[in-house]
Structure 1
Amino acid sequence: MPLPRTHQQAIARLQQMACLDLNGPLLIEPVLHELHRIIDFDTGGYFYPGADGGLDAYIEPSIARGCMHTYFDPQLMATEQQVIRRSAHDFAAAVRGDHGTQVMEELLKVPMAQFMRSDFYNLVLRPAELLDCLSLVLRTPQGQGVGALKLYRRPGAARFAPEDVAMLGRLEPWLARTLQLGEMDTEDSVLHDSAVLITTPGGQLLWTSPQADQLMALAFGPRWYRRTELPPALHTLLQRLQSAQRLIHGGPAPAVPQLELHNASGWFLLRATQMTAATGQGHAISLHITQRAPRVARLLPALRTLGLPQRQHELAYWLVRGLPEDQIAARMGISANTATYHRRQIYTRLGVQNRQELQDFFFVPQ
C-alpha cells in the first residue's frame, strides 16, 4: 500500500536534510517537524553528547520541556536506574546495547504496572504528561553514537504500533547522518538574540531579565533551572575574570574572558566584565550572552512555510546557499534547463528578480 502524499513529502525532506551542507543537533527542530508528519506523537526529544562531555538534551516546546530539569536530578537519576534498563543518561551503554527502534516495554526492567508506581514515573514523566515512548539510538556507519531520539505519547493515547516502529527504523540512516555533528562555521550565522544578567564575583545572581533567563535556559538547559546558582562553567568564567583583574596592575589590560557553547539551540557566547554595583558598594559582574543561529537552521523553517513543491524546495535551498546553477542541477540529478525553469518559477512566486533578492527575502528583516 503506497504511503500518503504527506508522508512521502516528509520522508523526501528528511532525505534532503541528510545531504545539506550543515548537520548536527542544530537540525533537530526541522527533523522533529517532519517526523510529526509521518508518526503520530505528542512530544519529541533528543539526547546527545554535549561539548563538555556530559549529556545534553533538546525537548520540543511543551509541558515536558518545563519539567526536564527533574530528569537531571541526581536522586531521580538513581530511581530511574531501578526501572529503566538503559537510560539516556548512560549513553555509552545505550550505544553498545540498544539496536533498532524500541518501544516502552523494551526499555523497562519492570512490568509497566510497576513502572507507573515508581518515583521516576510519578516525579518525572507524569508531570510532563508523557508515558509511551519510541526510542532509537543513532549511530554513524562506523558505529559511533550520535544521539538518542525519543518520541513520546501522553497517557491515554493509543500505544505506538508496529508500523510506527518500522517507519522510524526505516528512517534511521538519514536521521543519523542529519544529526551527526559536523564542522561548525560560526561565520555563516546570524545574530538571533542577546541579553545581560548581573552576578556577584562569587556567582550569586543579582539581576536578570526574562530575555536573559530564556537565553540562559537555551544555552545551559536544565542546568539553569536553579536560577540562584550559576552553572559550573560560569563560575570558571568569573574566576578567570578575577584573575585577569589582578593582572591589570602589572601590564596591559587582558582580553575580556568569554565562554563559547554549541548545542541544539544555537551558538552562544558569554562575556564577563566587571562593573560597579548599583548600590555603590562592592562590585558586580555583567554577563553578556548572545545567541547566533546558522543560516541553514533559519532557512529551513522559512522555506517550509512557503509550501513549495519538493523539487523547488530543494533548488531554492541551494540557490540561497550560493551554489552555482550547474552544480545544483548535477546535485539534484536534473538538466540545466529544468533547473532554470524551476528557478524562474521560484522567483515569480516570491516576487524576486535575482539571487541576491532571493537571499534577502530569507535573511533581511522585511
Structure 2
Amino acid sequence: MERAAERIARLTAGPHDLATLWHEATDVLAGAVPHFWAPCWYTLDPASLLMTSHVHDGMPEFPAEWLHAEYLGDDVHRLADVTRSATGISTLHEATGGDPSSSPRWHANMEMGGDQELILGLRTRGGEVWGALGLYRAPGAPVFDRAEKEFLTAVAPRLAEGARRALLVGEAVDPEGPEAPGLVVLDERLEVRSTTPAVDRWLAELPDGDPGAGRLPTAVLSVAARALRGGGTTAMARVLSRGGSWLVLHGAPLGPPADRQVAVIVEAAHPARILPLLMAAYGLTDRERDVTGLVLRGRSTDRIARELVVSAHTVQQHLKSVFDKTGVRTRRDLVATVFFTHYAPRFRDNEDRVVRGRPVRGGPVSAAAPPPPPAARSAPASGPARRPARPPTTAG
C-alpha cells in the first residue's frame, strides 16, 4: 500500500488526459486493494455533485436504467450521498446496517457476480468533490478492511486533484468556448516549448503579460519555478487580472526528472457554471438560484437557512417557486431534472470522447436545453446497480 500510494502521488502530480489517469490508477489499485473485475471511475461537478463522466474498462456506455436508478430510484449508497458524507467512503453492507439484502442494488449485484460494493468520494483537501470510485468484490471474498479503507481515504485527495487537472488539460487542448483554460509548457530554463490556442488571451490578462513581446508574466514564471522545485508536487496561484477578475494558475511537472518540463494552466476563477445556466433556463431569481444550488449539494432546509441567513419558511417559499418554474414536485425530481437536462448530454458525449480518445469535459452542457419530457422524470425507480454485467467468458 505504501508503494501504491507513492505511485499514485507520482501519477497524479503531472497533467494527464482523464481516461489515461484512470487506467493507470486502475493498475495501481489492483495490487493494493483486490477487487472484482475493474473499478468504476466517475467525475462529478463539485457545484452540484452530479455525474459528468464514467470510465470503466469493458463498458463504454453506462446503461440508461442505471442513471434513472441513481437519480430517481429509492435506494441507499448513491454517489452524492457518499461523497458528501463525513468520511467520504462507505460500503453497501455498512449503508444497510449489515443487511444488504434490503437493497435492490445488492440483489442486482449478486445477479451479476458481485456482492460487496465500496464507494469512495474523490475530495480535495479543501473539500471539493471532483469524482468517485466504485470497487466491488465477489461473494465469499474478504470484506474491505480498515487498512484498505484508510489507504483509499489517504489517496483520495490526490486522485481528486489529478481528476481536476485532467479536466483542465482536456479543456485547454480541446477548447469548447472562449472561457476555456490555456496551457503553456516550459522547459527547465522557463522557456516556452508549446502552447494551446487560448493561452495568449489569458497571458495578456495577467498584470505584466505581453505575449507579443515574448515575455511571460511573472505569475506564470513563479508557478512554473515552484512546480519544478517541488519534487513532483504541484503549485497554484490566484492572480487579479487587468480587467479586475480573478485568474487561477496551476503548475505541474511533466515527464521524468531528466526531462524537466512543466505545464502551467491558466483559467478564470468563475462561479459554478450550473448556477447561471439554471437562471437562464428557468428564469430563477438570484436567491432561487442559491437555494437550488444548495439543494443539489444535498443541504437540508435548516442548513440552507443558516447558510443564506434567512428563515426556514423563506427557504420553503423559494423552493416552492423553484418547483413551479422547473415543473417538479420534490427535491429528488429537481435533482433528476437538472441532471437529465443539463448533465446527461455531457455524460453521453464524454462516453463517446473516451472511445475516440478525445479529452473528457467537466461541468454541465454549455447551452440550456428544454426540460426533458415527463417520461424521463417519472422513469421506474428501480434499476440495477452501478456496474456492468459479468465479463464474458471464453471456452477452450
TM-score tier, shorter chain, comes to: 0.3 to 0.5
Larger radius of gyration: 1
Highest RCO, 1 vs 2 (Cα 8 Å, sep ≥ 6): 2
- When normalised by structure 1's length, the TM-score is 0.42
- When normalised by structure 2's length, the TM-score is 0.39
